[in-house]
Amino acid sequence: MAKTLFQKIIDRELPATIVFEDEHCLAFRDINPGAPVHILVIPRKPIPRLCDATVEDQALLGHLMLTANKIAEAEGFGGAFRVVVNNGAEAGQSVFHLHLHILAGRPLKWPPG
């Protein structure tokens, strides 16, 4: 199976502006931002889609959410940000390595899509 773009970033085969990393995940600025702040949080464990996560991934999924909160706070938007997960191509997922989008820095409308 070929490595995803995100796995190549984790492996440092591709450059990225990394804003956070620990033993479970890595976060970097999106190269095609949808908001003034647009950061992707990805698990080091390759999970293609959210629906592919298992009960064993429960702690990791919680860690990703808490990390998103920590990053938004560090970026100065702890009280006003959005976290988005696209699940599958029909939902807008283009890289099949689970990732959370942190969006902030402008008013965000609802519904989003």
Whole-number Cα distances in Å, 40 to 33, 71, 80, 97, 103: 10, 10, 17, 11, 9
For 96, the token pair is 């099949």
Please report whether residue 89 resides in a domain: yes
If one counts the domains in the chain, the total is 1
86 pLDDT higher than 70: yes
Please report whether residue 113 resides in a domain: no
For 65, the domain range is 5-104
Please report whether residue 70 resides in a domain: yes
Please report whether residue 111 resides in a domain: no
Partners of 56 in the beta sheet? Answer: none
Mean pLDDT of the chain, nearest integer: 95
Which whole number is the average pLDDT over 103-108? 94
CATH of the domain at 79: 3.30.428.10
Please report whether residue 112 resides in a domain: no
Q: Which residues are catalytic?
A: 99
Band (pLDDT 50/70/90 cuts) for residue 110 is confident
- SS3 sequence of 24-41: CEEEEECCCCCCCEEEEE
Per residue in 31-73, pLDDT (tens digit) is: 999 999 999 999 999 999 999 999 999 999 999 999 999 999 9
Please report whether residue 24 resides in a domain: yes
